[in-house]
Amino acid sequence: MSTPHNNANKGDIARTVLMPGDPLRARFIAENYLDSPVCYNEVRGMLGYTGTYKGVRVSVQGSGMGIPSIGIYSWELFNEYGVENIIRVGTAGAVADDVQLRDVVIGMSASTNSAYASQYRLPGTYAPTASWKLLRAAAEAAERSGKSYRVGNILSSDTFYDDADSLAQWQKMGVLAIEMEAAALYMNAARAGKNALCILTVSDCPLRGLSTSAEERQTTFRDMMEIALDTAAGV
């Protein structure tokens, strides 16, 4: 069995999948954190691997950038491959004043400027929300290992280069950080009756014109990854 975007067979993919945006980061995670990783997908270069972490079977697969891309890959994982838990691991821009470069931010909810929810024909505004089970497990994993983290509302934007320059308005509403995928992931999980969480490392501050170096990103990336992997090993 395969899908138009994934040539894995049923059973090749673990019940919990970590999803970075960049497929090369998926390969990095597989090679550096998983025992005995096996590559299950190369279609469109969207690499996916399954291995074990602390004895638990875990997969890691790229999502691509943006809501349409993670919308496709996570839909197939939940609905075609029987995946139960997806944990996005990615980078974000700081929005709230007190969120700093290198902070780890966990998305309890994901506001969005995307029309992704319109497919559900709801008579109101849907609030894309993380799975409490995964959120609690991630917070506990971070606390056990003494890593600091923030939890709150994030913004999943359809635009990276935004002509409307609207970040200040989202900031007024208490949004912590901006990225481009979580809202679709949370909606796909809700619709499929599955679980999703988004854990982010702040790589830039668009409102303050700051960004981290590639080297710094690598270090803080480790904190986020260890929180995500320990979460995956416990659910």
Contact residues toward ligand HPA (CB under 6 A) are 91-93, 157, 160, 178-180, 203-204, 206
* Side chain identity at residue 28, one-letter code: F
Minimum Å distance from CB 49 to ligand HPA?
A: 23
Q: Which helix (H) or strand (E) holds 75?
A: helix 67-79
First to last CA, the chain: 26
Contact 19, 87 (CB under 8 A): yes
Cβ-based nearer residue to ligand HPA, 154 or 189: 154
Looking at the DSSP bridge assignments, the partners of residue 106 are 151, 199
Contact 87, 194 (CB under 8 A): no
Tokens standing for 198?
Answer: 């988004």
Minimum Å distance from CB 90 to ligand HPA?
A: 7
Cβ-based nearer residue to ligand HPA, 115 or 122: 115
Neighbour tally for 207: CB within 10 Å? 16
Residue whose C-alpha is closest to residue 81's, from 166, 132, 176, 13: 13
Cβ-based nearer residue to ligand HPA, 206 or 234: 206
Would you please indicate which residues are annotated as catalytic (active-site) residues?
204
Minimum Å distance from CB 54 to ligand HPA?
A: 29
Q: Which residue is nearest to ligand HPA (CB)?
A: 93
Cβ-based nearer residue to ligand HPA, 204 or 230: 204
Minimum Å distance from CB 194 to ligand HPA?
A: 24
Minimum Å distance from CB 61 to ligand HPA?
A: 19
* Side chain identity at residue 91, one-letter code: T
Cβ-based nearer residue to ligand HPA, 86 or 95: 95
Looking at the DSSP bridge assignments, the partners of residue 59 are 17, 50
Neighbour tally for 145: CB within 10 Å? 11
3-state secondary structure of 116: helix
